[in-house]
Amino acid sequence: MAREGEWTPDWSKASPAWVFFGGLGLGALVTGGVMFFAALATAALLIGPFLFWLAWNVLDLGVAIGLGELGFWAIVLATVFLVVDWFGKTVIAGIVMLLNPDWFQTEATLRWPEPSFKHFVAVAILAALASFPHAKHRHGSG
């Protein structure tokens, strides 16, 4: 019961959406949405580098083509390099050039990996990561 002078809502005049959100708690709904998108962003940030690590270090694609295994930050940087668009790749190359210009002076002897199912899977994983930015630019049929 309402006390004298206390406001009470008139639910008979409220819209169904207002009643639903009021009963559920709008704060709980917003918090749930924010937590969902935070979990989605965290998963996206962890899945990409994990897949790159799997292809490069576990399936030994790096060793198979004449390069060594990569550490944590090299995997993160390589994954970001594969996933971002042209401008992002240019920024990453510029940052690497500014921070470690000697990196561009080193030489590597690359070779084709031995044909095996393991290397095929590793190349397929890296190709999937590299095609990610292009997948969101698809246009509708017609």
- The mean per-residue pLDDT over the stretch 95-120 comes to 85
What pLDDT shows up at residue 90?
A: 92
Six-digit token pair at 14?
């409220």
Q: Is 116 among the domain residues?
A: yes
- Percent of the chain whose pLDDT exceeds 70: 77
Identify the H or E element spanning 38: helix 26-53
- The mean per-residue pLDDT over the stretch 101-113 comes to 80
Q: Is 141 among the domain residues?
A: no
- The mean per-residue pLDDT over the stretch 123-139 comes to 74
C-beta atoms surrounding 66 within 10 Å: 12
Q: Which domain holds residue 74?
A: 46-133
Q: What is the mean pLDDT of the chain?
A: 80
C-beta atoms surrounding 5 within 10 Å: 5
Q: Is 142 among the domain residues?
A: no
What pLDDT shows up at residue 120?
A: 94
* Count helices and strands in the chain by DSSP H and E runs: 6, 0
Task: Please tell me the distance from the alpha carbon of residue 82 to that of residue 128, in angstroms, as a whole number.
Answer: 10
Q: Is 7 among the domain residues?
A: no
Six-digit token pair at 105?
């002076």
Q: DSSP character for 2? A: P
Q: Is 41 among the domain residues?
A: no
Residue scoring higher pLDDT (76 or 10): 76
* Distance (Å) of CA 68 to CA 29, 56, 64, 74: 48, 9, 9, 11
Give the number of residues written for the chain.
142
Q: Is 18 among the domain residues?
A: no
SS3 141: coil
Q: Is 68 among the domain residues?
A: yes
- Residue 19 in this model has a pLDDT that exceeds 50: yes
Q: Domain count of the chain? A: 1
